[in-house]
Amino acid sequence: MGGSDTTAEGRAAASGSPDDEHLLAEFEKVAQGLGRMFPGICEVVLHDLRDPDHAIRFIENNLSGRQVGESATELGLARIRDPQYPGVIQNYPNRFPDGRPAKSTSIGIKNEAGQYIAALCLNLDISTLSPMTLTLSNLVATDPESRDAPLETLRDRSRRELREVIETAAAERSTTPRALPREAKKDLVRRLYEDGYFDTRNAAQTIADLIGISRASVYAYTK
């Protein structure tokens, strides 16, 4: 459901200064914006604690079925009794009237005199998110039976990277790629093949040019 109509006719009268009323009117816009950012999953309720018997002033994205003008919750009453009550109670477990699990956050709003005059409450319907979380977990999971499979990379092997690998292999033997012994060239070509470098376009010709053999020899060395 969308936001509730909160015109003057629809609200219970509440006592307080014009400044308090202005502050609550501004927080109605905050409640509306938050609720509309998370449609269908997050209810946002503004409670007017100046009138606890008719505290609910505004509801956006109504998931609980409550109505404007209903009474304050236990948290609201606790703030009315104790100005030192924590200003923010966040991420506590809760339930909607139909039993759906929720995660809630309650934010107390004080006026200049340090009195709680309102509370902004967010109730996130986690019943819709739990199956999504499970689906995503299954989606990103890997098969334990595949852990022994050869490692592979999905990136393209560039000519520059190929040159660096070949030159590093030659440097380890204190020589140049073209001066490598025949057996060393065969081992290098076979390693490049196993590591996926042949997936790059023109890889065989590039390797042949770098180590000084024919393209046919490169393919022969892979066997």
Residue 7 CB burial class (10 angstroms; 0-12, 13-18, ≥19)? exposed
pLDDT digits (tens, 9 = 90+) for 145-171: 555 555 454 445 577 888 888 988 888
pLDDT digits (tens, 9 = 90+) for 50-96: 999 999 999 999 999 999 999 998 889 999 999 999 999 999 999 99
The CATH label, of 3.40.50.10140, 3.30.70.980, 3.90.1150.10, 3.30.450.40, for the domain at 8-127 is 3.30.450.40
**Ramachandran category for residue 69: left, alpha or beta (phi over 0 → left; psi -120 to 50 → alpha):** left
Number of H helices, E strands in the chain: 7, 5
Of residues 58 and 5, more confidently modeled: 58
Confidence of residue 14 (pLDDT cuts 50, 70, 90): very low
Helix locations, the chain, DSSP H: 18-37, 74-81, 129-140, 159-171, 182-194, 203-211, 215-221
Question: Pick from 127, 152, 151, 122: which is nearest to 60 by CA?
Answer: 122
Collapsing DSSP to helix, strand or coil, 37 comes out as helix
Q: How many beta carbons lie within 10 A of that of residue 183, not counting itself?
A: 9
- Sorted by where each begins, the domain ranges of the chain are 8-127, 159-221
Instruction: Report the C-alpha dihedral over residues 194, 199, 204, 206, rounded to 10 degrees.
Output: -110
Confidence of residue 143 (pLDDT cuts 50, 70, 90): low
Distance in angstroms (rounded) separating the CA atoms of residues 124 and 95: 10
> Looking at this protein, which amino acid is placed at residue 215?
R
